[in-house]
Chain A
Amino acid sequence: MSSGTRHHILSVLVENKPGVLARVSGLFARRGFNIFSLAVAPTDDPTRSRITIVVDVESAPLEQITKQLDKLINVLQIDELAPVDAVERELMIVTVTVSAESKPELLSLTEEYSGVVLDEAGDRITVSLGGTPEALDAFTARMGAAVVGYQRTGRIALPRIV
């Protein structure tokens, strides 16, 4: 869950076609590298998709994977984003159990993290919040054992404007 120092973020612009994600992920799988998180969606140009891959790998094999990715016909551009040079966001939805006493605390924490309540029934509340991966980690840590359901999107990222 936490973002370790060996994480690399690859932002891969691809043709929006069947099988392209399998080509990309296959290059990681073949070398036994685990993809930490993955987010895929079309860009403003619907013929193209952007794949944001967070992968836990040393730099030398990453360079080789990047070069192999670049050889895929359907891959248009690859940028490796250093965390300091990128803006990153991730979306999380989380269901927690609350009591009468803890509910106001949860609501105020949710507000503090600019989250919103999506659903509520009995002693459970589902909230969504977007933010940096670190912020989501921090929020989750404060919820502790109250968390009963948890889903994150994987991060998306763009280079900082310079």
Chain B
Amino acid sequence: MKTNGGAALIKALELEGVDVIFGLPGGAILPVYDPIIDSPIRHILVRHEQGAGHMAEGYAHATGRPGVAMVTSGPAATNIITPLADAYMDSVPMVVITGQVGTAGIGTDAFQEVDTVGITRSVTKHNELVTNAADIPRVVREAFHIATTGRPGPVLIDIPKDLVDPTNPNSALDWYWPDSVDLAGYNPRLEGDPALIKDAAQLIVAAQRPVLYAGGGILKARAAESLLALAELLDIPVVTTLMARGAVPDDHPLCLGMPGMHGNYTAVTAMQESDLLIALGSRFDDRVTGKLDAFAANAKIIHVDIDPAELGKVRRPDVGITGDCRLVINELITALKQIGAPEVQPDRSSWKSTISGWQEKYPLAYVQSEPGDLLKPQYVLEQLRDNTPDDCIVASGVGQHQMWTAQYWKFNHPYTWINSGGLGTMGFAVPAAIGAKVGRPDRMVWAVDGDGCFQMTAQELVTAAAERIPVKIAILNNAYLGMVRQWQEMFYEERYSEVYLSPDLPDYKMWAEAMGCVGMRVESPEDVLPAIQRANEVDDRPVVIDFRTDAREKVFPMVPAGKSNSDIVVGPEDVR
């Protein structure tokens, strides 16, 4: 069948099962926007290309399916680089299509030309400049395969305008659809080495103080059930990193919660004191380890990851297993049972009582505000947590509000927590929440945002209002770049440099209303719950609540940068 590159691109996306594209048209991608009119694929018109990328990420986080964004060349391509880098750091499956100037114009400094594959090479799992219209179906097929298999990640396809413009002979091709993908240099290993799995099982049953260190790879591998089965079989506690919150329910007795720079005392200290860390889809990030040579110094390491480059990258494992977490955990369970687990394990009752002692002695805590004072952000989060459905999806930006959400929310289901972990992208929350709601319209979706973050991507609430995507945004408005303020207070002798934002410039309520949302402002504790209840009832437009919070409140516990996790600061009274 004779066709053209633009029609072939849309057809290929349909065959990949794409149901929504987040995008914004422009010159070079214009021909592709014509066949979209006749396609069943929903297109969501964003207000800024960065929004398209983060929406695609939010969609992917919430559904497990690859998010798709499409934008034009030049400034549109540069605007979507931040989401690409974000998705690359957090292993989010995403396919981004960029228009490019026509093949004859490439390299001539043509209007809206940038070297898109050149500048995105280090922030994509793979990218490809299409040079022949006949390659389009194959390249699309390969892009989705690469984005979604192995360690997931973003793939970018850059397509020159002449190859998709039906009036240009360069766009002509005979339609085909590859039965399979043939990539000689890409064969992710899924099955773990059986001998190494046996070695791991032996280490586990010999350990006195083991901890399961679950990372985002658990969620990417759809391994939450397997992880829980492993933890329950062995009666071993689990920490869930920032990227793995919800992988094990927070209300499960074996779940210790989040480790790391702002992790809770028990999760941090259990890792620090353990004699065996079983790292599953986690990557020994500096925000988890603290000072590296002091991290879990007496622990042996079992490290399972689908990406062999992660094994030994930061901490050399005693047993390193390349493979898919779900498959490897299942094999590990079999191997453990074969050697007599759980009965053959040593008596770990003193380790368990040590852990429960820490939990009792060092719970997360804050002091409720005095009458007339601004709200405590933790109180707002507790109210939000307790007055939304158990399976509510919550997205966040980056900073104090993100850490408080990760600490105070109860994540009892996988895929209910969406945030920017590795790149730490301020402004992630609003577009990511919109993408999540598009992917999971059956779920309530809240974004917890900071006032600094909100100002970076708020324009996408116009998109959400226009498209009737009823996300809810809680701004913890402390009038500051709060995390930076916290560091300046603690480490720069309270010399506050360029962190003040003002609580009412802009007026968030009016801004929300101007964008077609319901806007509210809450200043006292008794108004928190009624505002949340009112927001929960709105289902035809977005809601923004401006919660006025106390700027003096800091995130604790905290392991100061460069310090050992053993130097964890539990609360303000502990600051030296």
Pair B117/A19 contact, Cβ less than 8 Å: yes
Nearest chain B residue, comparing its CB with the CB of A20 = B185
Interface positions, chain B 103-128, Cβ under 8 Å from A, are: 117-118, 121-122, 125-126
**Any chain B CB within 8 A of the CB of A157?**
no
Choose among B122, B185, B307 the residue that contacts A15 (Cβ–Cβ < 8 A). B185
Choose among B131, B185, B312, B313 the residue that contacts A74 (Cβ–Cβ < 8 A). B185
- Contact partners of A75 in chain B: CB under 8 A: 185
The answer to whether A71 and B312 touch (CB under 8 A), given A15-B185, A23-B121, A30-B122, is: no
Of B184, B185, B309, the most chain A CB neighbours within 10 A belong to B185
Mark contacts of B84-115 with chain A using CB atoms, 8 A cut-off: 1 yes-contact digit, 0 otherwise: 00000000000000000000000000000000
**Any chain B CB within 8 A of the CB of A105?**
no
Pair A73/B183 contact, Cβ less than 8 Å: yes
CB distance from A67 to the nearest CB of B (A): 4
**Any chain A CB within 8 A of the CB of B129?**
yes
Pair B308/A70 contact, Cβ less than 8 Å: yes
**Any chain B CB within 8 A of the CB of A68?**
yes
A interface size (C-beta, 8 A):
19
Choose among A68, A73, A74, A76 the residue that contacts B309 (Cβ–Cβ < 8 A). A68
- Contact partners of B184 in chain A: CB under 8 A: 15, 76
Nearest chain A residue, comparing its CB with the CB of B183 = A73
CB distance from B34 to the nearest CB of A (A): 29
Interface positions, chain B 306-355, Cβ under 8 Å from A, are: 307-309, 312-313
Nearest chain B residue, comparing its CB with the CB of A68 = B309
- Contact partners of B118 in chain A: CB under 8 A: 22
The answer to whether A26 and B307 touch (CB under 8 A), given A19-B129, A73-B183, is: no
Pair B313/A64 contact, Cβ less than 8 Å: yes
Pair B185/A72 contact, Cβ less than 8 Å: yes
The answer to whether A26 and B313 touch (CB under 8 A), given A71-B307, A76-B184, is: no
Pair A67/B117 contact, Cβ less than 8 Å: no
- Contact partners of B309 in chain A: CB under 8 A: 64, 67-68, 70-71
Pair B185/A76 contact, Cβ less than 8 Å: yes
B interface size (C-beta, 8 A):
18
**Any chain B CB within 8 A of the CB of A63?**
yes
Mark contacts of B167-184 with chain A using CB atoms, 8 A cut-off: 1 yes-contact digit, 0 otherwise: 000000000000000011
- Contact partners of A14 in chain B: CB under 8 A: 185
Interface positions, chain A 38-87, Cβ under 8 Å from B, are: 63-64, 67-68, 70-76
Pair B312/A63 contact, Cβ less than 8 Å: yes
A19 to B312, CA, bound (A): 29
Pair B122/A26 contact, Cβ less than 8 Å: yes
- Contact partners of A23 in chain B: CB under 8 A: 121
Mark contacts of A1-40 with chain B using CB atoms, 8 A cut-off: 1 yes-contact digit, 0 otherwise: 0000000000000110011001100100010000000000
A22 to B120, CA, bound (A): 12
- Contact partners of A70 in chain B: CB under 8 A: 308-309
CB distance from A20 to the nearest CB of B (A): 10
Interface positions, chain B 440-464, Cβ under 8 Å from A, are: none
Mark contacts of B69-87 with chain A using CB atoms, 8 A cut-off: 1 yes-contact digit, 0 otherwise: 0000000000000000000
Pair A67/B122 contact, Cβ less than 8 Å: no
- Contact partners of B146 in chain A: CB under 8 A: 73
A30 to B126, CA, bound (A): 17
A23 to B121, CA, bound (A): 7
- Contact partners of B312 in chain A: CB under 8 A: 63-64
Interface positions, chain B 145-186, Cβ under 8 Å from A, are: 146, 183-186
Pair A67/B121 contact, Cβ less than 8 Å: no
Pair B126/A22 contact, Cβ less than 8 Å: no
The answer to whether A67 and B308 touch (CB under 8 A), given A15-B185, A19-B117, A76-B184, is: yes
Of B117, B122, B129, B309, the most chain A CB neighbours within 10 A belong to B309
- Contact partners of A73 in chain B: CB under 8 A: 125-126, 146, 183, 185-186
- Contact partners of A64 in chain B: CB under 8 A: 309, 312-313
17 contacts between A and B (CB under 8 A): A15-B184, A15-B185, A19-B129, A22-B121, A23-B121, A26-B121, A30-B122, A63-B312, A64-B312, A64-B313, A67-B308, A71-B309, A73-B125, A73-B183, A73-B185, A73-B186, A76-B184
Apart from A19-B121, A75-B185, 17 more pairs, CB < 8 Å: A14-B185, A15-B185, A22-B118, A26-B121, A26-B122, A30-B122, A63-B312, A64-B309, A64-B312, A64-B313, A67-B308, A67-B313, A68-B309, A70-B309, A73-B125, A73-B185, A73-B186
6 shortest interchain CB distances as A-B pairs: A67-B309, A76-B185, A73-B126, A73-B186, A75-B185, A73-B185
